[in-house]
Chains A and B, each alone.
Chain A
């Protein structure tokens, strides 16, 4: 069975303090690794898709990387508006996306 594990469950940073979120996956035939951002009371918002080990993608202060077993979401010099839950999901050899439980990021001013 496909599994996705995210760590830490919660992360509190000061504004400008860079850090990384981790996503470990066990998926049969990975077709894509997805990162989403979820704000309270909203649906997940798509950020990135990574397809193969070694791939990197960037968007503003966020950079996602992928290895054969893990993905990292690096947050550089975060701002309070980056506070949200970040979800990782893996797409395997079926039509499903299996989600992790997410990391709740809080950035204090």
Chain B
């Protein structure tokens, strides 16, 4: 019974294409996140939504657009993909947008742009 699930697990595409990654959590959490993990394994926050409202929007190219249709779902759409977008993208959720509750992560989507 997966708590935070992402699809697809692998995504291989060519430069210039548009792609989406989907995330769903069944933990009843209010807050969801997108993190990017680069080739050096460094996890960096991209976006966060709390009850469908965008609360964190880091310095990320405008080609990346998150969408939260409801508090259990957070999708990531990427336009005009570039080689540098290749990375593993992790979705995570948290009980509340509180400072001290842990994040629960999905197993990631490995994006390869050729």
Contacts and interface: CB of A to CB of B under 8 A. Distances in A.
A49 B100 contact: yes
Interface in A1-41: 31-32, 34, 36, 41
**Size band of the interface chain B makes with A:** 20 to 34
A42 interface: yes
Nearest to A50: B100
A95 B107 contact: no
A97 B100 contact: no
B86 interface: no
B102 A34 contact: yes
A43 interface: yes
B100 A32 contact: yes
Contacts of B50: 95
Interface of B: 4, 31, 40-45, 48, 50, 55-56, 90, 92, 97-108
